[in-house]
Structure 1
Amino acid sequence: MAILRAGSCLLIFYLILNVHGKSGSSEKRTFVIDYDNDTFSMDGKPFRYISGSIHYSRVPYQYWDDRLHKMAAAGLNAIQTYIPWNIHEPEEGKIDFSGQQDVVTFLETAQKYNLSVILRSGPYICGEWEFGGLPAWLLKSDNLKVRTMDPNYIKPVGRWLTRLYAELKPMLYKNGGPIITVQIENEYGSYEACDYDYLRFLRDLARECLGNDTVLFTTDGDSDGFLKCGTLPDVYATIDFGVTYTPEKNFEIQRHKEPKGPLVNSEFYTGWLDHWGENHSTIATSEVAKSLDLILALGANINMYMFEGGTNFGFWNGANYPYQPVPTSYDYDAPLSEAGDITEKYMTLRSVITKYNPTAMAVPPSTPKKAYGKVIMTFASTLYDMANLKDPVMSTYPLTMEQLDSYYGFVIYKHIFKSQVSGPLDLSGVRDRAYVNVIRDKKVVLSAVVERDTSNMTVSVDVDAGDFVLVLVENQGRINYGGEMNYNHKGLISNVTLNNITLTDWEQSAFGWDPSQRMLIPSNSFLVPVAKAPSLPSFYAGVLDVEEPQDTYLDMSLWTKGQLFINGMNMGRYWPHRGPQVRLYIPKYALNAGSNLILMLELEQAPCHHSNSKCYVEFMDQPLINATVPQSIHRGISQDTKPLWRWLFDLIMSIIFSEWNLFSF
């Protein structure tokens, strides 16, 4: 088995060398751990890295150069990045290393600025990323146990990592590239499985594919309990911790596992993550700077998580448990803002870093921002009239998104009532948020919102024979941390009951998102006969005219909750009524010189219902990700209608039936 894996690694490696036209460096390059001197050694000389995290999946690829340039100008000599498996293999067996997924180009850009690379190859990455970087198609296997030797997990893991390592082997330092270390798994000591066979499998596969002389490491929290299940012999154990004024005490934990070798903090937190409905997280610059100085004074190696946070475009945000989805912004209060701007924290930390690693590189300027002003948004259609949907699937009981082979976004469920009945409609199987509409004679007679893990997941209904219920279920992002990752199915994951009687005979159709999260041309209209009403989940559209595209922010404060598309690109979720994020970052590469189509799927309540004068969005030149967070809002949905502008409808339809691309910046 090991020989077969090694042979596969070598074969793919040589094929990739021929494709890329790369060959090993004629000059011997080495990167090793010098245990005698408690340091790393690069080409026989002591080496200490001062690194920052940046996720290539969260930064438009056109901006990789800009962000890496700024990181080098801060005095960093290394970067750290995750490999999200799910963006590279969104469909089983179909692997993509192009465009936004072109990790080799990202690594080459880092090398251009003399930045070494600390690679966190997964397969699990956490990172507040959808399913912790694992592809959702894994969930098609019954009773899946991720991050273990479960055959339904480990077989695709082995195939993926063999292919990934072959792609990246030419980028190892010894082969002339920038990669100096490779992480095995990610904070495995925090996971309940504690499967050493799994860790050994990952270690051995990395050795076979990358060579025994590649420095492998693990990262875990700074306690003996975390290190117990997260470490292995022959894999260097590192720890992570945030602001502290006594870092020597934190490093004592690492010394319990690694008595000799370099001190390493693989995640020193410059900020923290956000959740919808919670205040924006910040850590005072002065505290981060003081702690950083103390760590560097010890001679330790450090990676700052994050140095550039970026954006969860599309549906790529993760969630924590109890269920808390992460916003579109992943700013993280990092030294470089979500848009890559120079901040006070950047300049302060730069002054600390350059004490230990001087640089003559000037700090590049922040990118220009443009306030384009207001764009009038016009009601175009309800979701049910205009949706691009896969062929409807009939079933006795509701199917999950995974059973429908549709992993992101939304799915619509439809049930026709066979007799008059009233009582509680139990939707406790909703994952994650449902928009419920009862339809009678083409009119909406009931609307409600049901959210997972809340105290009341029932809706009181009074229906006649022939009435039907539409349940639009939104996948708000899969859990990326902890044992609940094994229960990440979306849609309706259990039966629906009315008066404790299970409802049977369901029709369901998922949106036609392809693996790149583009909307497909519908093969079946699945049009629902409902009177058009902007109170239903509905599309709104407007046109922005631009002479010269620049980065900007779209203010969504008048709207409630939904999804934003610009020129077909899925820019992410908005939810200003939950907060703290109110404005979405729009990189200039999403805009065209000339006309730009702004399309919103408003799921709950548009401002147009109250006043046409408020039916707009506004492009601003400043972010707003730290708004005051109100209490949870579940606003009633009314049934007013709004006329449809035929010319705008035609325009929208022509765009929707073309490709909707997440990353074609």
Structure 2
Amino acid sequence: MASSQTGRRKSTRKVIVLLFFVASIGLFFPAFSPLPAVSSSRPHRHSIKSPAEKKNLQDEAPRFEILHDKFWKDNEPFQIIGGDVHYFRIPPEVEKWWSMLLPKIVPLLYNNGGPVIMVQIENEYGSFGDDKSYLHSLVKLARQHVGDDVILYTTDGGTRETLDKGTIRGADVFSAVDFSTGENPWPIFELQKKYNAPGKSPPLSSEFYTGWLTHWGEKMAKTDAKWTAAALDNILSRNASVVLYMAHGGTNFGFYSGANTGQISADYKPDLTSYDYDAPIQESGDVDNPKYKALRSVIKRYSRYQLPPVPANNVKKAYGRVKMERVTSLFGVLNMVSEPKDGAQSDQPVPMESFGKVLGFCLYVSNFQPKERPIILSIPKVHDRAQIFMLCQTTGYASGPAYVGTIERWLNRNITLPHITCSSSVSLFILVENMGRVNYGQFLYDKKGILSSVLLDGSPLRGWKIFPISFDHITNILFTNPIAHIAHPLVRKSNKMVLKETEDDPLKGPAFHVGQFVINETDQVKDTYISFRGWSKGVCFVNGFNLGRYWPSVGPQCSLYVPAPILKHGENTVVLLELEQANLEHVITFVSGPDFTCGPTRATSTT
């Protein structure tokens, strides 16, 4: 695992991270603890020579600082033992974002009596950037909001190249490091000193990898608990500080999953909806596992506080099978889910960000004149996955636009559009899914949608209508009149809402499916999982909450985690946007545990 970590990095990039001085993270362990007795003396200016001086010192404001290559909290040497929890990517407009965020943090700074001891201004920037003026601008912006007393810091990989590019020399910004778990930390901590002012370099591994992430189509990443614990012990045993990445990974709910790339943008690897990460606190919050116990045992040896009791795992409930009904195609409610509802016109395709759309889906529609032979369709640059459909506006198809193929960013290929007899123009529908933004490396500026011309037999197709799609109110939309929606004019001639399908003639393409189930007792509202075995690819909403993507045909994730607060006593509603082909029984199953054994990888389940 250590070697693989050097080749690919975590997917969710932190632009700002706050370290909190708290008694515990959840019920896991103390986030910070004082150092054991040390032989070095405290700085002279903190010496206490009389009870009166001691009282005066206690009356001073709280203070967290770096001196003599140690962290100090209120005049006592301090060792950080912390953990990251799951966070979401923030917008790229740093100044706008920080102007909203940092004023809320100021009352929470430690020197103001709150829990925040340090503020991170950049994360692993040296791995893909080298602009000191940019870094200095972040420092200036942060100082305008948080003042001069709080510690600002950066984190970079433990190499000269990354530290040269990602750090700011001098005493104003502390430089922390990260490195592969199991790697010898002490030469890296010595290197860290070269990028901090003399006496200002307490050894800090700000990302100690407890596991690793998994992309769609891969086997679930696992790391050995004893091996991970031994690596942690190696750091803590000599009074170095550490922050676990991740303490709790959690879930990429909605469309907030990230992605990685290789050396080229097309080598694109989207993350699973689950961000379990093989972390000590599992996706559902459970801690009864070997890694939690092993890491807790190590932390207990170095903490001067008594650790809180180990909590029990959350109770899970298998609610069983729920019958789903196909209500309408996505095209059937296009005018109700697109913003603007009539689309936006453009001569050439443009990215979805042009319409303020940063997540989810965007539909591109144009027309062309049919030929007496098949036509070759190519899209040189699409981010990230495009499903292609055709519709003759004269005759149409009973089920709406007909599916003809898929183009993927990581497997771009030409599509042959079949010859159809049509006395009018043929409408071309291209539904593009943003599978997750690249969060690390040189391709961070990751625009989504169709980023090139669409070519028919090598010639650009012009005259597009573009429909940014929103699912914010999809449950209400489908239950307003689930049978007889008014179709968008582009597909109205062929629209038939509720259609029957058989095993020999299944309906394909993006369609909404609705199901309901009842929880009869309040005390039966529990965490659960939805199994999507037999379904293809799509998005799931429970009581209007977007759980995220499912893709069991690729795997390894077969099920989605449903936290109890999303459910309710009484009737609960599930809506699926199935993009390809539904389970032939039209059934989903609520089960009591996660399943990561789908797809060709056949990875090992966590249950």
TM-score of the aligned structures, taking structure 2 as reference length = 0.78
Equivalent of 2:595 in 624, 631, 650: 624
Secondary structure of 2:318's counterpart equals: coil
In 2, are the aligned partners of 1:408 and 1:513 still within 8 Å (CA)?
A: no
The match for 1:315 is: 255
Q: 1:163 Cα shift? A: 3.0
The match for 1:240 is: 178
In structure 2, distance between residues paired with 1:519 and 1:208: 44
Q: 1:257 Cα shift? A: 2.2
Matches within 5 A, 1:414-493: 414-420=365-371, 422-440=374-392, 441-443=395-397, 444=401, 446-463=403-420, 464=422, 465-486=424-445, 488-493=446-451
Structure 2 residue identity aligned to 1:423: I
- Shift of the 438–289 alpha-carbon distance from structure 1 to 2, 3 Å rule, reads same
Structure 2 residue identity aligned to 1:442: G
The count of residues paired between Structure 1 and Structure 2 equals 503
Listed one character per residue, the Cα deviations across residues 79-128 of structure 1 (whole Å, up to 9, x for unaligned) are: xxxxx5xxxxxxxxxxxxxxxxxxxxxxxxxxxxxxxxxxxxxxxxxxxx
Q: 1:314 Cα shift? A: 0.5
1:564 aligns with 2:540: yes
Equivalent of 1:338 in 240, 258, 283: 283
In structure 1, distance between residues paired with 2:467 and 2:350: 10
Q: 1:50 Cα shift? A: 0.5
Matches within 5 A, 1:285-304: 285-304=225-244
Equivalent of 1:389 in 313, 338, 361: 338
The match for 1:262 is: 202
Of 174-183 and 458-467, deviating more is 458-467
Secondary structure of 2:103's counterpart equals: helix
The match for 1:555 is: 531
In structure 1, distance between residues paired with 2:460 and 2:328: 33
In structure 2, distance between residues paired with 1:425 and 1:617: 36
In 2, are the aligned partners of 1:381 and 1:540 still within 8 Å (CA)?
A: yes
Secondary structure of 2:354's counterpart equals: coil
In 2, are the aligned partners of 1:279 and 1:628 still within 8 Å (CA)?
A: no
In structure 2, distance between residues paired with 1:461 and 1:542: 36
Structure 1 residue identity aligned to 2:508: S
- Shift of the 519–252 alpha-carbon distance from structure 1 to 2, 3 Å rule, reads farther
In 1, are the aligned partners of 2:475 and 2:543 still within 8 Å (CA)?
A: no
Q: 1:26 Cα shift? A: 7.5
The match for 1:410 is: 361
In structure 2, distance between residues paired with 1:208 and 1:363: 42
Structure 1 residue identity aligned to 2:587: Y
Question: Any gaps of 5 or more consecutive residues in structure 1?
Answer: 1-24, 58-83, 85-128, 136-155, 609-613, 632-665
1:190 aligns with 2:127: yes
Secondary structure of 1:509's counterpart equals: strand
Q: 1:222 Cα shift? A: 0.9
The answer to which structure has the higher helix fraction is 1
The match for 2:46 is: none
- Shift of the 208–411 alpha-carbon distance from structure 1 to 2, 3 Å rule, reads closer
1:379 aligns with 2:326: yes
Listed one character per residue, the Cα deviations across residues 145-175 of structure 1 (whole Å, up to 9, x for unaligned) are: xxxxxxxxxxx42243233221100000000
In structure 2, distance between residues paired with 1:626 and 1:42: 47
In 2, are the aligned partners of 1:389 and 1:525 still within 8 Å (CA)?
A: no
Secondary structure of 2:355's counterpart equals: coil
In 1, are the aligned partners of 2:553 and 2:599 still within 8 Å (CA)?
A: no
Secondary structure of 2:298's counterpart equals: helix
Q: 1:352 Cα shift? A: 0.8
Of 46-55 and 201-210, deviating more is 201-210
1:495 aligns with 2:453: yes
Listed one character per residue, the Cα deviations across residues 472-529 of structure 1 (whole Å, up to 9, x for unaligned) are: 111111111122122x222211111111121122222121356x99998999952523
In structure 1, distance between residues paired with 2:280 and 2:448: 35
Secondary structure of 2:206's counterpart equals: strand
Q: 1:209 Cα shift? A: 1.9
In 2, are the aligned partners of 1:323 and 1:453 still within 8 Å (CA)?
A: yes
In structure 2, distance between residues paired with 1:565 and 1:163: 30
In structure 2, distance between residues paired with 1:572 and 1:202: 33
Equivalent of 1:181 in 110, 118, 122: 118
The match for 1:536 is: 509
- Shift of the 307–518 alpha-carbon distance from structure 1 to 2, 3 Å rule, reads farther
- Shift of the 164–229 alpha-carbon distance from structure 1 to 2, 3 Å rule, reads same
1:215 aligns with 2:151: yes
Secondary structure of 1:425's counterpart equals: strand
Q: 1:360 Cα shift? A: 4.4
In structure 2, distance between residues paired with 1:235 and 1:584: 41
Q: 1:207 Cα shift? A: 2.2
In 1, are the aligned partners of 2:62 and 2:111 still within 8 Å (CA)?
A: yes
Listed one character per residue, the Cα deviations across residues 559-617 of structure 1 (whole Å, up to 9, x for unaligned) are: 11000001111110001111111110000111111111111000011122xxxxx3211
Secondary structure of 2:516's counterpart equals: strand
In structure 1, distance between residues paired with 2:144 and 2:403: 60
Secondary structure of 1:399's counterpart equals: coil
Equivalent of 2:551 in 564, 569, 575: 575
Matches within 5 A, 1:571-650: 571-608=547-584, 614-625=585-596, 627=598, 629-630=600-601
In 1, are the aligned partners of 2:376 and 2:414 still within 8 Å (CA)?
A: no
In structure 1, distance between residues paired with 2:128 and 2:319: 47
Q: 1:428 Cα shift? A: 2.5
- Shift of the 395–520 alpha-carbon distance from structure 1 to 2, 3 Å rule, reads farther
- Shift of the 473–519 alpha-carbon distance from structure 1 to 2, 3 Å rule, reads farther
Secondary structure of 1:212's counterpart equals: coil
- Shift of the 539–297 alpha-carbon distance from structure 1 to 2, 3 Å rule, reads same
1:356 aligns with 2:302: yes
Equivalent of 1:283 in 223, 233, 243: 223
Of 311-320 and 449-458, deviating more is 449-458
In 2, are the aligned partners of 1:434 and 1:449 still within 8 Å (CA)?
A: yes
The match for 1:638 is: none
Structure 2 residue identity aligned to 1:437: F
- Shift of the 360–318 alpha-carbon distance from structure 1 to 2, 3 Å rule, reads closer
Structure 1 residue identity aligned to 2:418: V
Structure 2 residue identity aligned to 1:424: I
Secondary structure of 1:49's counterpart equals: strand
Larger Rg belongs to:
2
In structure 2, distance between residues paired with 1:206 and 1:395: 40
1:204 aligns with 2:166: no
In structure 2, distance between residues paired with 1:454 and 1:628: 17
The match for 1:60 is: none
Identical residues among aligned pairs (%): 38
Of 287-296 and 442-451, deviating more is 442-451
Q: 1:201 Cα shift? A: 1.0
In structure 2, distance between residues paired with 1:445 and 1:158: 46
Question: Any gaps of 5 or more consecutive residues in structure 2?
Answer: 1-57, 262-266, 500-506, 603-607
In structure 1, distance between residues paired with 2:210 and 2:599: 22
